[in-house]
Structure 1
Amino acid sequence: MTLRHLPLHDGWTLGADGPVPLGLPTGGVPATVPGCVHTDLLAAGLIDDPYLDDNETRLGWIGRTDWTYHTVFDWTDDGHDHADLCFDGLDTVATVLLNGTELGRTANQHRSYRFAVRPLLVEGANTIDVRFTAPYTYAEELRERLGDRPGAYTEPYPFIRKMACNFGWDWGPTLVTSGIWRPVAVQSWTGPRIASVKLLADLADDGVPRLSVTLDVDRSGDRSPLRAVVEVAGERAELTVPAGQDGAATTLLVPDAEPWWPHSHGEQPLYEVSVRLGGHAWHGRTGFRSVSLEREAFRIAVNGEPVFVRGVNWIPDDCFPARLTRQRISDRLDQALAAGVNLIRVWGGGLYESDDFYRLADEKGLLVWQDFPFACAAYPEEQPLYDEVAAEARENVVRLAPHPSLVLWCGNNENLEGHADWGWRKELGDRTWGHGYYHELLPAICAETDPTRPYWPGSPYSGSPDLHPQDPARGTIHIWDVWNRADYRAYADRVPRFVAEFGFQGPPAHATLRRAVSGPLALDAPLLTHHQKAEDGNAKLLRGLGDHLPQPGGSFDDWHWLTQLNQARAVAFGIRHFRSHTPYCMGTVVWQLNDCWPVVSWAAVDGDGRRKPLWYALRAVYADRLLVVRDGALHLVNDADRPWAGTLCLTRHDLDGTVLAEEELSVSTAPRQVARLALPPSVAEPADRTRELLVARLGEVRTVEFYEEDTRLALPPARYGVRITGSEGDASAYRVEVTARTLLRDLALFPDRLDPAAEVDEMLVTLLPGESTVFRVTGAVIEDPEALGIRPVLRCVNDALA
């Protein structure tokens, strides 16, 4: 017989186990499963949207309340010998009851749970109750028993195996959830059952694709030998589970399979795998590639080919992850892909992401660096936490191992640095802080369960516990002094091997702020300030303008434009510098791609999914080919698989467009290399730094470099012509052609100010007098299209300086 799967997602209600500051309906609140308490109360109209205004501050009681989810389902005896109640995810501390009988207790959001229930099921109506203990109650009691631990925040997240950023972060709200956050079902079967399948797909030493399969079975009393069959890409292998044993493994070569590559290096062929045991079948999908890590240089190679990492950090895309659809994840990863990103780092303060996330990364050719869920705190290693960590790690390593996109396991985020530099040692004394997880438990689990991928104890980390974790000559570093204290030109003061975190803040799109904040948008508006979680964040935004851009005064529109632009420039400056040092530097991972709510943050894509100017800047500096002017030289960065050759044109202009000097040089850069060319004296130094600029062009790639900061440039008042036309056959699309009559510095269009659904294809374009560019606006229905051509929708640096 085959396994029977009965989903249990309907008919749930939610009730509070104790007093709450609102009236709950008799019989409970209708509940969505998968979901959580916050989203159920929101759907019932009992709380205001926690993402708007300062509503978050009035919802802290939810995380301090015990809750019960209840449902009744009909069951009919299907003739199977066994039945399990299966939860793919419970958030977090729960007691599960079926027909009043306790099945078990849980304390880990990162695990799934299976309870044998066949003797308890009855014909007809059956009840399930899932009683959730308040996360704060559990975590604070454990903190009291084990002793406090230092961290970046005072919240008790190190004492509960739950998404840490639920407890607030410097970009996220404090919304501490409970709920059945992943699917639930009853599974029935007869005879031996496939309990789990571990797939490891890589390349043998001779380059032939190879699949290792480990099968675990639930025998249910049957002790005879069992025969299973594995099939993939035309290959077939038999696997025998010996009598009295619960598992077996086999390895088969798959010579007809093609290797999987990151999108910047090749194609992404994927292959269906089936494992059959009697009447039961397991189906999965994988791709074949090898991964290696050169530890000192932190150089990741796929199929033996080094990859310069053009990365972004990923945080949970919603504080309530059950709301994330496959389409929304796909859209967000497509935004990364379109920006030239080839690696997503799943950050350690969040989750092991959904199966959809990794499947989509496989399909799109995006590499994944996976942090284990530890971030910015000392984590106790005592029980019950130690066994929970071991169980979640084993389960998720097996779950994620088939995905070719996954190329690195990383033990934690910033905990090694915290122990070394943040004063933890004195506060800790002899208490545990996570060393045993990162240097013993997790590497042992990875070595046993997934030897096909490298493991790295944490980031930042320099390759040895004896070395300072922030040694730029080894391993990974994080650069946060720039945002916190220094001008962004300080990125050029160091040449690291690999930058796993760095970033600069900027506000979200205007339409995103307008939706999130009621009342006037003003720099001193308390509701706007509530959507800035970084310590002294707004002051750092203004400090960061430095001498690059003018201070906005009291103008909200100027503040919004200039701080968004400065964010884009700061990150782009860093990436250009780091990429020009390839292959010594082999990667940058920008903090961060996305947001979980509407907030002023480091993200390139804001909490409503809108692309900030930073996104457009990333697309430019993460392109395969890049021209970088640095230290009196032009660096030709060629991260393509073909040589980059042609005639390089270098032109020094007056700001009025007059050509002052011009040089043409034949150049060639080998694939995946950087060529350095000293600038000829005629263009290297201007006669007047405030009135001149340099244009470098090679083929379709152009860069415009100024010899002085904008605040010292003699930029003229902006003059330009604008021609706005509709798109034939599409009433929601517009073509905005801008022709410069003076030099226009970083021209940008913000159509979301006119229609929140509007998007624009380009931004941050510098035009010389006489040049034109076209912005294409889509998704918009604009009452007055002429508004696309005037402030504050159309902006450039010139008007801010004026």
Structure 2
Amino acid sequence: MSAKSTLHEGWTVTGDPGTPAAAEPIPATVPGEVVSALLAAGLVADPYTDEGERGVAWVGRRDWTYRTTFTYEGGDHDGVDLVFDGLDTVARVSLNGEVVGESANMHRRYRFDARSAIRQGANDLEVAFTSPYTYAEAQRDRLGDRPNAYDEPGNFIRKAACNFGWDWGPNLASAGIWRDVRLETWRTARIAEVVPRTSLEGGQGIVDFAIDLQRAGEADLVLVCTAGGHTAVLPVPAGAGTAQVRVAVDDPQLWWPHNRGGQPLYDVSVTLRSGDEELDSWTHRVGFRTVELDTEPDADGRPYVLKINGEAVWVKGVNWIPDEALFSRVDAARLERRLRQAVAAGIDYVRIWGGGVYESEDFYRLCDELGLMVGQDFLFACAAYPEEEPFWSEVEAEARDNLARLAPHPSLVTWTGNNENIWGWHDWDWQEPLGELSWGAGYYHDLLPKLVAEVDGTRPYWPGSPYSGVRELHPNEPTHASVHIWDVWNQEDYAHYRDWRPRFVAEFGYQAPPTWATVRRMTTDEPLQAESPSMLWHQKAADGQAKLQRGLDAHLPPVRDFDDWLYFTQVNQARAIRLGIEHFRSLQPYCSGAVVWQLNDCWPVTSWAAIDGEERLKPLWYALRDVYADRIATFQPHGEDGVKLVVVNDSAEVWNGVIGFWKCTSEGRITGRALLEIRIDPRDTAEVVLEGQVAPAPGEFLVTGREDFPRATWFTKEDKDMDWATARFTAETAAVDGGVAVTVTADTVLRDLCLFPDRLDPDATVDKALVTLIPGEQAVFTVTSEAIAASPELTAALTTKPVLRAIND
């Protein structure tokens, strides 16, 4: 029987001669990276606080060597392998002084034959990393420079692009053994790879196992394959290294996104035997479902409609970046917290962006279990990539490895060739500097679709995000397939989302700083200001603060202090994305989905995220929960000055009911009422143009009642121009299990009322935000925090600024 033992203990790391730190060995955690080891040893400052990132900039420009000693007991083995699930990135692996393998790709697994080097007893294992800059710059000099969105050589090394810094992330281009390492021993033969391809045929769930074997001789073997309690046995004759086995499961339950149905998963296994001896085994879980991507041209252009089990799904998506800049810090528990936050916000689709990594098994397993669809980019982002060797072969090996590794997961529904590179070739002044140089087109249009069909064969592939469907058409053409909308954040007010009529929005976003407690983690600046040095260091977007200010100037009253700035920018982010998604949803089925940039952060930073780098919810998260609800009502412009109410039913049931709304003055006095009887079929929309006494005049606003769907509002003027009364209310607190309930009763209009308990307890959470009330209405905020509940002073502070805020306070 094969045996596996992890090699995670006793590691040290040493810098090359002349390193500013760690010229002598220091302890190193494996999986891990050099920056984490230096930080644990107290040799560098925290790169996440103030401008600490500057203090580790030298790390990526040095060579590093990891070493450990392990014991091998020997035995009658035909195979002894060192297996690395992730080496970051350019490494030479030596065992007892003998080189057994090399790596040049962070994104693939490596298996090195150790038989000639290993010895019984103690063994010295060394992994020597070359500086990623040394390698990438040498490749750039050899092949000729190519455009990149950043002045970094990250497109000349198969390493996460965001390691070299991004407009939301730090430059921590370190090195390390970033995933598991182990010693594997085996006799006679082993299972090298299993790709279980699932399908549905005639009421059965089919699992077609494609199995690769590694042999040490010519023995006859037997494969025993199971799926859902059904078994198939296949003799494998001497010399055969591959096998195909089909297992059928009767009447399988289907896997669905969480808002469409259940997530039944079936155990599958492959056992390799020789006579009565079990040599090796492989186990996983699969789900049965079909996936289609409808991009057939229609009268309006080209749709981009994702279908699961034959049903069109309106995608309620987010973009995903690595959840930590120091990747090894991310464990299964952290991923589960993040993905459960996504589900709680009504999100059903997570796009793994091409500048990060292929995520861990835990990530996809959790998405399988939680019913989150995954769109997976191949790892190319915002740059021209060379197609010459060694890169072509590395990309092929990387793609084959990850296509096979991720094949079992029903949550994985699409593969996409790259992020913005086809767009870049068209629009970002690449063509003249590139001349005849390769830039990646061969990957996106030839190699990757061939490999997806060959290795996977069950999921659709799309050449790029964005991409319009044919090479001759501009890749970001709104009427054709997927688009990215970035002119709004970069150049225009967020109301201009309504100028777009997209078929599918794969990226759009609006910035805000993180929560108060996270701001205080990332900066010690005093006084704390929007333009203080560390606040600016943690704003990586070009002219980011100016763009935030442009948004404030367009919509909100002047800020008086940092507390105003923090609250107003967070509200503006939430409003911008809500406006965009409500508009896109009002266009369905013409528009088939929206994927917000972005769900998460990898460190404390001002960014487009809904959940900040310390795992705290920004107001945007609460806005997503509202706007991604299955049933929503939204006021939308109609004609030059008119208004219509669009009602969207994305549930599986008919929506029969009454929607009531009021027309109000800025004082909150009701001047008009309407009750609309509705009957909307499942997955359908309806709209009503507002006329007569319910059409708002300048200075008035519309608000739906306290219904069983998120409240809809429409304002005829911006807050800065509305004649709001200064906020007046009463607030009462009461103890509840694990925290405090805060009941706010409005005496005036309260606009986007928020409660920020993290100002009192960094671990505190609250159940709602962005609540608009008219006089006489109440809202109850439930704060979870034992620390606040135990302190009368902190409990009292829940009812006053800067913890409790309204735009008109």
TM over 0.5: yes
Structure 1 range deviating more: 447-456 or 73-82: 73-82
Residue 254 of structure 1 aligns with which residue? 249
Partner letter of residue 138 of structure 1?
Y
Deviations 1:209-239 (A, max 9, x none): 21110010001122x4432011111211123
Confirm or deny that 1:723 pairs with 2:732: yes
Relative distance call for 1:77 and 1:624 in structure 2 (3 A) is same
Partner in structure 2 of residue 774 of structure 1: 780
Among 264, 269, 281, the residue aligned to 1:269: 264
C-alpha separation in 2, matches of 1:701 and 1:54: 41
1:634 aligned onto 2:645: yes
Q: Which amino acid aligns with 2:403?
A: V
1:63 matched residue in structure 2: 60
Alpha-carbon distance, 1:16 to partner = 1.1
2:804 corresponds in structure 1 to: 794
Measure the CA separation in 1 of the matches of 2:188 and 2:334. Answer: 40
CA apart distance, 1:78: 2.8
> How far 1:550 sits from its partner (Å)?
2.0
Identify which of 239, 245, 264 aligns with 1:244.
Answer: 239
Give 1:121 shift: 1.6
| Other-structure match for 1:329 | 335
Distance 2:653 2:361 in 1: 35
**Does residue 231 of structure 1 match 2:223?**
no
Structure 1 position 6, deviation (Å): 1.6
Alignment map for 1:413-428 (pairs within 5 Å) = 413-428=419-434
Tell me, what secondary structure is at the counterpart of 1:418? helix
Task: Give me the identity figure in percent.
Answer: 52
Give the Å deviation of 1:692.
4.1
Whole-Å separation in 2 of the counterparts to 1:616 and 1:161: 37
Tell me, what secondary structure is at the counterpart of 1:547? helix
| 1:94-121 Cα distance to aligned partner (Å, 9 max, x none) | 0000000001211000011111112322
1:107 aligns with 2:107: no
Unpaired segments ≥5 residues, structure 2 = 296-301
2:5 aligns with: 6
Q: What's the counterpart of residue 310 of structure 1? A: 316
Q: Distance in 1 between matches of 2:330 and 2:268?
A: 27
State the shift of 1:698 in Å: 5.4
Return closer, same or farther for 1:102/1:437 CA change in 2, 3 Å cut-off.
Answer: same
1:650-678 deviations in Å (ceiling 9; x for gaps): 32123334331222222111101111122
Task: Write out aligned runs for 1:449-598 (5 A).
Answer: 449-520=455-526, 521-553=528-560, 555-598=561-604
Which residue of the partner structure matches residue 167 of structure 1?
164
Q: Work out the CA distance in 2 between the residues paired with 1:699 and 1:196.
A: 50
Counterpart-to-counterpart distance in 1, 2:769 and 2:586: 23
Residue from 597, 621, 626 that aligns with 2:627: 621
SS in structure 1 of the partner of residue 234 of structure 2:
strand
Taking structure 1 as the reference length, what is the TM-score of the superposition?
Answer: 0.97
Q: Which moved more, 1:357-366 or 1:112-121?
A: 112-121
- Once the two structures are TM-superposed, the CA of residue 697 in structure 1 deviates from its matched residue by 6.3
Tell me what 2:288 maps to: 288
CA distance in 2 between partners of 1:458 and 1:692 (Å) = 42
Letter in 2 for 1:113: Y
CA separation in 2, counterparts of 1:736 and 1:694?
Answer: 23
Match of 1:709 in 2: 718
Residue 291 of structure 1 contacts residue 304 of structure 1 at CA under 8 Å; is this kept in 2? yes
Contact in 1 for aligned 2:631/2:709 (Cα 8 Å): no
Superposed CA offset, 1:556-607 (max 9, x none): 1111111110000000000000001110000000000000000000000000
**Correspondence for 2:213 among 213, 217, 228:** 217
Length-normalised TM-score, structure 2: 0.96
- Residue in 2 aligned with 1:199? 196
Question: Which of 367, 371, 375 matches 2:373?
Answer: 367
> In structure 2, how many angstroms separate the alpha carbons of the residues matched to 1:508 and 1:701?
24
Aligned to 1:123: 120
Q: How much has 1:769 moved relative to structure 2?
A: 0.4
- The gaps in structure 1 that reach 5 residues or longer are none
Match of 2:180 in 1: 183
- Match of 1:161, SS state, is coil
* Secondary structure of the corresponding residue to residue 584 of structure 1: coil
Q: In structure 2, what residue type is equivalent to 1:130?
A: V
User: Which segment drifts farther, 3-12 or 343-352?
Assistant: 3-12
Tell me the CA shift for residue 12 of structure 1.
0.7
Cα distance between partner residues in 2 of 1:663 and 1:522: 45
Task: Answer with 278-287 or 776-785: which moved more.
Answer: 776-785
Give the whole-Å Cα distance in 2 for the aligned partners of 1:690 and 1:653: 9
- Report the CA distance between 1:725 and its aligned residue: 1.8
1:659-712: CA deviation from partner (whole Å, max 9, x where unpaired) = 3122222211110111112224221233xx214434356554432322221111
Q: Residue 155 of structure 2 aligns to which amino acid in structure 1?
A: P
Contact persistence 1:755–1:780 (CA under 8 A): no
What pairs up with 1:43-58 in 2 under 5 angstroms?
A: 43-58=40-55
Contact residue 655 and residue 681 of structure 2 kept, 8 A? yes
- Rounded to whole Å, the distance in 2 between the matches of 1:142 and 1:740 is 64
2:299 corresponds to which residue?
none
**Per-residue CA distance 1:184-222 (angstroms, 9 max, x = gap):** 111111111111100111222x35321110010001122
Instruction: Tell whether the 8 Å contact from 1:695 to 1:705 is kept in structure 2 after alignment.
Output: no
Q: Which amino acid aligns with 1:540?
A: K
Shift of residue 547, structure 1, vs aligned partner = 2.7
> Cα distance, 1:726 vs. partner?
1.9
Which digits, 9 at most, give the CA deviation of each residue in 1:344-364, with x for residues without a partner?
000000000000000000000
Runs of 4+ in 1 over 4 A off after TM superposition: 696-701
CA distance in 2, matches of 1:73, 1:23: 23
The structural deviation recorded for 1:640 is: 0.5
1:679 counterpart = 2:678: no
Q: CA deviation at 1:240?
A: 3.6
Aligned residue number for residue 649 of structure 1: 660
* Distance in 1 (alpha carbons) for counterparts of 2:765 and 2:451: 46
Q: Which residue of 1 aligns with 2:298?
A: none
With 310-319 and 674-683 compared, the bigger mean Cα shift is at 674-683
Aligned to 2:14: 15
CA separation in 2, counterparts of 1:657 and 1:150?
55
Q: CA RMSD in A?
A: 1.3
Whole-angstrom CA distance in 2 between matches of 1:465 and 1:242: 47
Q: For residue 331 of structure 1, give the secondary structure of its aligned residue in structure 2.
A: helix
Distance 1:663 1:46 in 2: 67
Deviations 1:493-552 (A, max 9, x none): 111000000000000001001011013211221111100000010000000224311232
Q: For 1:154-175, what per-residue CA distance to the aligned partner results, in whole angstroms no more than 9, with x for missing partners?
A: 1000000001100000000011
The 2-side partners of 1:780 and 1:48 are apart by: 32
For residues 137 and 798 of structure 1, do their structure 2 counterparts lie closer, same or farther at Cα, with a shift above 3 Å needed? same
Distance 1:144 1:414 in 2: 24
Measured in 2, the distance between the counterparts of 1:702 and 1:58 equals 48
1:240, 1:248 within 8 Å by CA — same for their partners in 2?
no
Q: Separation in 1 of the partners of 2:133 and 2:460?
A: 35
State the match for 2:130 in structure 1: 133
Q: Distance in 2 between matches of 1:475 and 1:252?
A: 36
Q: What amino acid sits opposite 1:351 in the alignment?
A: V
Contact 1:197 1:213 in 2 (8 A): yes
Q: Distance in 2 between matches of 1:21 and 1:183?
A: 28
Distance, in Å, in 2 between the alignment partners of 1:459 and 1:399 is 23
Distance (Å, rounded) in 2 between the aligned partners of 1:700 and 1:74: 62
Aligned match for 1:751, one of 746, 757, 761: 757
8 Å CA contact retained: 1:132, 1:179? yes
Is this contact kept in 1: 2:203–2:252, CA < 8 A? no
